[in-house]
Amino acid sequence: MPSRRTRKLSASPTTAASAVNHHAAFIPLVFIMMIIWFVYRAVFSFPVWFDESIGKALFFGLPVWLYVSLSGSRSIPDTFSIAKIRPGLLMGIVVGGIFGFVASIISLLQAGSDVQAVALFSSPLFWGEFLLALLTGFWETLFFFSWIMVVWQERFPRQSLLKQIVAVALIFVIFHLPNAFLRLPTLGAVRLLLLLFLFALGQALVFSRWRNGYTLALSQAIWGMVLLIHVG
Protein backbone atom coordinates (compact mmCIF):
# COMPACT_ATOMS: atom_id res chain seq x y z
CA MET A 1 0.00 0.00 0.00
CA PRO A 2 1.48 3.40 -0.98
CA SER A 3 2.21 5.84 1.77
CA ARG A 4 0.18 9.01 2.35
CA ARG A 5 3.05 11.12 0.95
CA THR A 6 3.19 8.96 -2.19
CA ARG A 7 -0.56 9.28 -2.73
CA LYS A 8 -0.35 13.04 -2.25
CA LEU A 9 2.48 13.41 -4.79
CA SER A 10 0.75 11.22 -7.34
CA ALA A 11 -2.40 13.31 -7.04
CA SER A 12 -0.61 16.61 -7.61
CA PRO A 13 -0.52 16.44 -11.46
CA THR A 14 -4.24 15.68 -11.53
CA THR A 15 -4.96 18.60 -9.22
CA ALA A 16 -2.82 20.93 -11.32
CA ALA A 17 -4.51 19.78 -14.53
CA SER A 18 -7.92 20.32 -12.94
CA ALA A 19 -6.97 23.88 -11.99
CA VAL A 20 -5.78 24.58 -15.54
CA ASN A 21 -9.04 23.27 -17.04
CA HIS A 22 -11.03 25.16 -14.43
CA HIS A 23 -9.55 28.45 -15.66
CA ALA A 24 -9.53 27.65 -19.40
CA ALA A 25 -11.53 30.80 -20.24
CA PHE A 26 -9.30 33.07 -18.17
CA ILE A 27 -6.85 34.34 -20.82
CA PRO A 28 -9.51 34.94 -23.52
CA LEU A 29 -11.59 36.85 -20.98
CA VAL A 30 -8.66 39.04 -19.95
CA PHE A 31 -7.93 39.77 -23.61
CA ILE A 32 -11.58 40.68 -24.29
CA MET A 33 -11.67 43.00 -21.27
CA MET A 34 -8.44 44.62 -22.47
CA ILE A 35 -9.96 45.41 -25.87
CA ILE A 36 -13.16 46.74 -24.31
CA TRP A 37 -11.15 48.91 -21.90
CA PHE A 38 -9.03 50.31 -24.77
CA VAL A 39 -12.16 51.22 -26.72
CA TYR A 40 -13.75 52.83 -23.66
CA ARG A 41 -10.66 54.94 -22.99
CA ALA A 42 -10.25 55.94 -26.65
CA VAL A 43 -13.88 56.81 -27.39
CA PHE A 44 -15.21 58.26 -24.15
CA SER A 45 -13.87 61.03 -21.93
CA PHE A 46 -15.76 61.07 -18.66
CA PRO A 47 -14.79 62.94 -15.48
CA VAL A 48 -12.25 61.27 -13.20
CA TRP A 49 -14.85 60.58 -10.51
CA PHE A 50 -16.95 58.65 -13.05
CA ASP A 51 -14.02 56.60 -14.36
CA GLU A 52 -12.78 55.64 -10.90
CA SER A 53 -16.19 54.73 -9.51
CA ILE A 54 -18.81 53.73 -12.08
CA GLY A 55 -16.46 53.06 -15.00
CA LYS A 56 -14.12 50.71 -13.16
CA ALA A 57 -17.01 49.10 -11.30
CA LEU A 58 -18.42 48.07 -14.69
CA PHE A 59 -15.19 47.15 -16.48
CA PHE A 60 -13.16 45.80 -13.53
CA GLY A 61 -15.66 44.80 -10.85
CA LEU A 62 -18.41 43.21 -12.95
CA PRO A 63 -16.17 40.76 -14.87
CA VAL A 64 -14.61 39.54 -11.61
CA TRP A 65 -18.05 39.05 -10.05
CA LEU A 66 -19.23 37.09 -13.09
CA TYR A 67 -16.06 34.99 -13.12
CA VAL A 68 -16.43 34.11 -9.44
CA SER A 69 -20.14 33.35 -9.89
CA LEU A 70 -19.57 31.05 -12.86
CA SER A 71 -16.37 29.36 -11.68
CA GLY A 72 -17.26 29.08 -8.00
CA SER A 73 -13.74 30.20 -7.08
CA ARG A 74 -13.15 30.69 -3.36
CA SER A 75 -9.58 31.95 -3.61
CA ILE A 76 -10.58 35.22 -5.30
CA PRO A 77 -13.11 36.53 -2.73
CA ASP A 78 -10.91 35.20 0.08
CA THR A 79 -8.43 38.01 -0.63
CA PHE A 80 -11.07 40.43 0.70
CA SER A 81 -12.39 38.31 3.55
CA ILE A 82 -13.58 40.04 6.72
CA ALA A 83 -10.82 38.42 8.78
CA LYS A 84 -8.20 40.18 6.66
CA ILE A 85 -9.51 43.73 7.14
CA ARG A 86 -7.55 44.78 10.23
CA PRO A 87 -4.16 43.22 9.38
CA GLY A 88 -4.59 44.28 5.76
CA LEU A 89 -5.22 47.94 6.58
CA LEU A 90 -2.32 48.06 9.02
CA MET A 91 0.03 46.52 6.48
CA GLY A 92 -1.38 48.83 3.81
CA ILE A 93 -0.38 51.85 5.86
CA VAL A 94 3.14 50.45 6.21
CA VAL A 95 3.57 49.52 2.55
CA GLY A 96 1.88 52.67 1.29
CA GLY A 97 3.99 54.76 3.64
CA ILE A 98 7.18 53.20 2.26
CA PHE A 99 6.07 53.74 -1.34
CA GLY A 100 5.00 57.29 -0.55
CA PHE A 101 8.19 58.16 1.31
CA VAL A 102 10.40 56.91 -1.52
CA ALA A 103 8.31 58.76 -4.13
CA SER A 104 8.44 61.95 -2.07
CA ILE A 105 12.21 61.82 -1.66
CA ILE A 106 12.76 61.17 -5.37
CA SER A 107 10.41 64.02 -6.28
CA LEU A 108 12.15 66.44 -3.91
CA LEU A 109 15.58 65.47 -5.21
CA GLN A 110 14.48 65.95 -8.81
CA ALA A 111 12.74 69.26 -8.16
CA GLY A 112 15.39 70.56 -5.78
CA SER A 113 12.74 72.25 -3.64
CA ASP A 114 12.46 72.68 0.12
CA VAL A 115 10.10 70.76 2.40
CA GLN A 116 7.20 72.89 3.61
CA ALA A 117 4.37 72.06 5.99
CA VAL A 118 0.93 72.10 4.35
CA ALA A 119 -2.40 71.49 6.12
CA LEU A 120 -3.52 68.81 3.68
CA PHE A 121 -5.69 66.83 6.08
CA SER A 122 -7.88 69.85 6.85
CA SER A 123 -8.75 70.34 3.18
CA PRO A 124 -12.05 68.88 1.86
CA LEU A 125 -10.39 68.66 -1.54
CA PHE A 126 -7.75 66.31 -0.12
CA TRP A 127 -10.32 63.91 1.30
CA GLY A 128 -12.32 63.96 -1.93
CA GLU A 129 -9.21 62.99 -3.87
CA PHE A 130 -8.34 60.36 -1.27
CA LEU A 131 -11.79 58.79 -1.65
CA LEU A 132 -11.23 58.54 -5.40
CA ALA A 133 -7.78 57.06 -4.74
CA LEU A 134 -9.34 54.43 -2.48
CA LEU A 135 -11.89 53.54 -5.18
CA THR A 136 -9.09 53.25 -7.72
CA GLY A 137 -7.03 51.11 -5.36
CA PHE A 138 -9.96 48.82 -4.61
CA TRP A 139 -11.09 48.19 -8.20
CA GLU A 140 -7.55 47.76 -9.55
CA THR A 141 -6.55 45.46 -6.69
CA LEU A 142 -9.68 43.37 -7.25
CA PHE A 143 -9.07 43.13 -10.99
CA PHE A 144 -5.30 42.83 -11.35
CA PHE A 145 -4.34 40.98 -8.18
CA SER A 146 -7.34 39.32 -6.50
CA TRP A 147 -8.47 38.04 -9.89
CA ILE A 148 -5.67 38.08 -12.49
CA MET A 149 -2.78 37.20 -10.18
CA VAL A 150 -4.70 34.59 -8.19
CA VAL A 151 -5.99 32.86 -11.31
CA TRP A 152 -2.65 33.22 -13.13
CA GLN A 153 -0.89 31.37 -10.31
CA GLU A 154 -3.52 28.63 -10.39
CA ARG A 155 -3.50 28.50 -14.19
CA PHE A 156 0.31 28.34 -14.43
CA PRO A 157 1.42 26.65 -11.20
CA ARG A 158 4.74 25.51 -12.63
CA GLN A 159 5.95 29.02 -13.38
CA SER A 160 8.42 30.60 -11.00
CA LEU A 161 7.17 33.36 -8.72
CA LEU A 162 9.32 35.85 -10.62
CA LYS A 163 7.66 35.01 -13.95
CA GLN A 164 4.21 35.19 -12.36
CA ILE A 165 4.92 38.61 -10.85
CA VAL A 166 6.38 39.99 -14.09
CA ALA A 167 3.39 38.68 -16.09
CA VAL A 168 0.90 40.39 -13.77
CA ALA A 169 2.93 43.63 -13.79
CA LEU A 170 2.99 43.63 -17.59
CA ILE A 171 -0.78 43.14 -17.77
CA PHE A 172 -1.16 46.00 -15.28
CA VAL A 173 0.94 48.27 -17.52
CA ILE A 174 -0.83 47.23 -20.74
CA PHE A 175 -4.20 48.22 -19.29
CA HIS A 176 -2.73 51.64 -18.46
CA LEU A 177 -1.37 52.26 -21.97
CA PRO A 178 -4.37 54.27 -23.27
CA ASN A 179 -4.53 56.56 -20.26
CA ALA A 180 -0.78 57.23 -20.38
CA PHE A 181 -0.48 58.03 -24.09
CA LEU A 182 -3.75 59.98 -24.27
CA ARG A 183 -2.82 62.25 -21.36
CA LEU A 184 0.94 62.69 -21.78
CA PRO A 185 3.55 63.23 -24.50
CA THR A 186 5.43 60.12 -25.57
CA LEU A 187 8.41 60.56 -23.26
CA GLY A 188 6.20 61.36 -20.29
CA ALA A 189 4.00 58.35 -21.04
CA VAL A 190 7.01 56.02 -21.19
CA ARG A 191 8.30 57.33 -17.86
CA LEU A 192 4.87 56.89 -16.28
CA LEU A 193 4.54 53.33 -17.60
CA LEU A 194 7.98 52.42 -16.25
CA LEU A 195 6.98 53.80 -12.86
CA LEU A 196 3.71 51.85 -13.00
CA PHE A 197 5.61 48.67 -13.90
CA LEU A 198 7.91 49.01 -10.90
CA PHE A 199 4.93 49.79 -8.68
CA ALA A 200 3.03 46.74 -9.96
CA LEU A 201 6.07 44.54 -9.32
CA GLY A 202 6.13 45.72 -5.71
CA GLN A 203 2.40 45.24 -5.27
CA ALA A 204 2.53 41.76 -6.80
CA LEU A 205 5.39 40.79 -4.51
CA VAL A 206 3.48 42.00 -1.44
CA PHE A 207 0.34 40.22 -2.63
CA SER A 208 2.20 36.95 -3.17
CA ARG A 209 3.24 37.05 0.48
CA TRP A 210 -0.02 38.00 2.22
CA ARG A 211 -2.85 37.54 -0.34
CA ASN A 212 -4.62 40.52 1.25
CA GLY A 213 -6.58 42.87 -0.99
CA TYR A 214 -6.98 45.52 1.70
CA THR A 215 -3.22 45.94 1.91
CA LEU A 216 -2.86 46.63 -1.80
CA ALA A 217 -5.92 48.87 -2.08
CA LEU A 218 -4.79 51.14 0.75
CA SER A 219 -1.12 51.19 -0.25
CA GLN A 220 -2.09 52.14 -3.81
CA ALA A 221 -4.34 54.93 -2.52
CA ILE A 222 -1.53 56.36 -0.38
CA TRP A 223 0.99 56.05 -3.20
CA GLY A 224 -1.43 57.73 -5.62
CA MET A 225 -1.98 60.66 -3.27
CA VAL A 226 1.76 61.19 -2.90
CA LEU A 227 2.15 61.27 -6.68
CA LEU A 228 -0.77 63.70 -6.95
CA ILE A 229 0.75 66.06 -4.38
CA HIS A 230 4.35 65.94 -5.57
CA VAL A 231 3.97 65.22 -9.28
CA GLY A 232 0.44 66.04 -10.32
Quote the percentage of the chain above a pLDDT of 70: 79
Max mean pLDDT among 2-16, 94-108, 129-143 falls in: 129-143
What predicted TM-score, i.e. pTM, was given to this entire model?
A: 0.86
Question: What percent of the chain shows pLDDT beyond 90?
Answer: 63
Q: What is the pLDDT of residue 183?
A: 85
**Looking at this protein, which amino acid is placed at residue 105?**
I
Domains of the chain, residue spans: 4-230
Answer whether 212's CB lies under 8 Å from 84's CB.
Answer: yes
Cα 148 to Cα 133: distance, rounded to the nearest angstrom: 21
Question: 159: alpha, beta or left, given left = phi > 0 and alpha = psi -120 to 50?
Answer: beta
* Mean pLDDT of all residues in 160-185: 95
Residue 206: which pLDDT band, with cuts at 50, 70 and 90?
very high
Q: Which of 70, 92, 119, 116 is nearest to 203 (CA)?
A: 92
Relative orientation angle of helices 186-210 and 213-230, to the nearest 10 degrees: 150
User: Which of the four pLDDT bands, split at 50, 70 and 90, describes residue 101?
Assistant: confident
Report pLDDT for 3.
45
- Region 75-102: mean pLDDT is 91
pLDDT in tens, 29-48: 999 999 999 999 999 989 99
Average pLDDT over residues 141-154: 97
Nearest to 150 by CA among 55, 68, 66, 36: 68
Nearest to 135 by CA among 32, 48, 36: 48
pLDDT band at residue 7 under the 50/70/90 scheme: very low
Task: Encode 21-78 in three state secondary structure.
Answer: HHCCCHHHHHHHHHHHHHHHHHHCCCCHHHHHHHHHHHHHHHHHHHHHHHHCCCHHHH
| pLDDT value of residue 146 | 98
**pLDDT surpassing 90 at residue 15:** no
| pLDDT tens readout for residues 52-61 | 999 999 999 9
- At 231, the pLDDT band (50, 70, 90 cuts) reads low
- Mean pLDDT (the chain) is 85
